[in-house]
Amino acid sequence: MIDVDDLIALVRNYNPRSDPALIRAAYAYGQRMHEGQTRHSGEPYFTHPVSVAAILTEMRLDDATIATALLHDTVEDTRSTHDEIVAMFGSEIAGLVDGVTKLTNLQLSSSEAKQAENFRKLLIAMSRDLRVILVKLADRLHNMRTIKSMRPDKQGQKARETMEIYAPLAGRMGMQWMRDELEDLSFRVLNPEARNSIIRRFLTLQREAGDVVHKISADIRAELESAGIEADVYGRAKKPYSVWRKMREKELAFSRLSDIYGFRVICDEVPDCYRILGLIHQRWRAVPGRFKDYISQPKSNGYRSIHTTVSGRDGKRVEVQIRTRAMHEVAEAGVAAHWAYRDGERVANPFAVDPARLISTLTEQVDAGGHHDEFLEQVKLEMYSDQVFCFTPKGDVVQLPRGATPLDFAYAIHTRIGDSCVSARVDGIRVPLWTRLRNGQSVEIITAEGQRPQTTWIDLVVTGRAKAAIRRSLREEDRARFVRLGQELARVAFEHVGRKATDKALATAATRLGVADRKELLARLGSAEITARQVVAALYPDLAAADVEEVDARRPVVGLPDAEAFRRAECCQPLPGERIVGITYRGIGVVAHAIDCLALEEFEEKPERWIDLRWHDGRHSPAYTVALKVTISNDAGVLGRICTLIGEQGANISDLRFADRKPDYYRLIIEVDLRDLAHMHAVMTALEADSDVAELARHRDMQRKP
């Protein structure tokens, strides 16, 4: 563990005016609070906060952030209190510690509705002080570096959360080095075989071709020296996960991949960047379509660099990035460069992005309403997207995600322009609204009075802003019609069970279903987002259950072609109540997959095999097997009690097997026959309430064939 003097020395290397007394006090307090606590590895727990602080010193952050790192788990895991932190270290550090504590409690890998709400809280915390997320990212990085000491199931959960949330968030904030490491550490857990395979292939390639990185770096240096340009040249093979992602996206074997090597040329001044670009293009043939100038058109996170791909030595494609030293600092530190210190002063880096501007691109729609799935979709698009740069007729630059269309462009300018868009001209040529825009194109939007968004537009746009605006407009336009239709549906449904759909009854149902008010409930009822049976069941569950028709087990889905055989996919085991899609298989018939099943990826380019299916309304028989993964205490009578709990919920256990046996716990895969999604939730709720159930999750085996 780094001792306090070494930590202070790390800080003073870049900030001689640092306050060593503050760091020493935070170190001593944290060490005292965590005394006696240990990590999963058996090390003293305080090694973790110290390591997080050390990671933040690499970003040259201020004393308050370093102290926060040392204290970030005290309120959560020790007897320390917020008031005590305020009294000892001031309100700024106490506020940062409180922010990190709240982020630690967010379960970003939970259910979709909960995840959306927690996403909102994460973004709100970021908007108040972005240093909170910097500490949290460093915390996650150290946890991933030491993840091997955790239980395998916890490793998988943390790795998925890191891959889906924290790694792209680090990338969106410009901290590419951290994104690369987080992705690689997650990849090591989630798919170790693939990672090891890529590393082996790199070693084989190096044996066959020699040290390609060293040779090409020497070639670039020779060109620079002959032109009298001073610059540093760095080369490396790309990270295993980066190679794996490219192999999957382009559906290429490793041997067919190009530009698996990357090189950086770092110089002093901007004019030198373009001189170096000219030298490289003179010496090697440029690959068409692989040039990006992020110096003249920076990314929204402040990233600036010139990217070009050339056919280097022996015809191997290599990517070369050219930037100045100031740009390189921002490329490495991202938004953290805003707080970076050097020689006791905040670094006035001209390329460091204003944190408020960065966070506004992520939080723009937080208060715009909409459903949780829409919010999640928008935020994830903002985090994951690469960018293209297009121009208005006046020459203003509009930044959009790759794959954006003229509709995205129109909504990026103003919602009113997007809503009234009828056509577009790209580089002076009239094009359809589904055209994918490319870097450098000039786009002119043509509008018409009276035009309104169409339902099909949802599938044409890729930005969260455009999707949210279109859905909002469609809802507003149809709201009055849906409210009237919902009122009639509610009246008929309530009369069917001998009740009246009074305003009070509907308001109560809205509250129980988590809907804002009575009118919103009616609008959703009229638009088929909520069924009349759900509304009745919210108030009169017994009456609703008695009124439900039994579904024919032989034809449980709607949309199945006549005489076509049907079965559920073994990989995702969809249940009535879940959104499904049918895929046709020769010799099998139609196989229903859950809409989020990973197996659907292989059919993305085969639309002719997709069939639109939905489950029949009504009460299904308990004939749908679902696997549950349960971790229970290894004590007498626990397994029997678990089986009894399942039986009490009207579910039958069709199979049970042990996935892992330890002295203190068992991990089981229990296959249960269920009616629908609600039935599964009832079973899982009963199990989760048992104190001897440590973990419970739905088990999906993607290796099982349909």
β pairing state of 557-558 and 580-585: unpaired
DSSP states of 73-100: THHHHSS--HHHHHHHHHHHHHHHHHHH
Q: How many Å apart are CA 176 and CA 172, to the nearest integer?
A: 8
Q: How many Å apart are CA 196 and CA 188, to the nearest integer?
A: 8
Contact criterion met (CB below 8 Å) for 192 and 239: no
Contact criterion met (CB below 8 Å) for 170 and 144: no
Told to judge if 77 belongs to the known catalytic residues of this protein, a careful annotator would answer yes
What 8-state DSSP symbol labels residue 620?
P
Find all residues with CB under 8 Å of 25, minimum gap 6, and list them.
88, 89
Alpha-carbon distances of 632 from 179, 289, 423, 682, rounded to whole Å = 35, 56, 60, 18
DSSP states of 541-574: HHHHHHHPPBPPTTS-EESPPTT--EEE-TTT--
Contact criterion met (CB below 8 Å) for 510 and 518: yes
Find all residues with CB under 8 Å of 704, minimum gap 6, and list them.
570, 571
Please state the φ and ψ torsions of residue 248, each to the nearest 5 degrees: -75, -45
Closest CA to 283 of 258, 332, 318: 318
Q: How many Å apart are CA 169 and CA 490, to the nearest integer?
A: 44
Catalytic one of 76, 427, 477, 596: 76
Q: How many Å apart are CA 598 and CA 592, to the nearest integer?
A: 13
Length of the chain in residues, anyone?
706
SS3 156: helix
Catalytic one of 43, 77, 219, 364: 77
β partners of residue 582: 592, 611
Q: How many Å apart are CA 634 and CA 620, to the nearest integer?
A: 35
Tokens of 441: 């194109």
Q: What angle do CA 593, 599, 601 make, to 5 degrees?
A: 110
Find all residues with CB under 8 Å of 629, minimum gap 6, and list them.
153, 659, 667, 668, 669, 695, 696, 697, 698, 699
Contact criterion met (CB below 8 Å) for 32 and 79: no
Tokens of 504: 């009070």
Closest CA to 623 of 614, 615, 613: 615
Tokens of 338: 């805003």
Q: Using the structure block, give the residue that is written with the tokens 């292989």.
A: 602
* Active site (catalytic) residues: 76-77
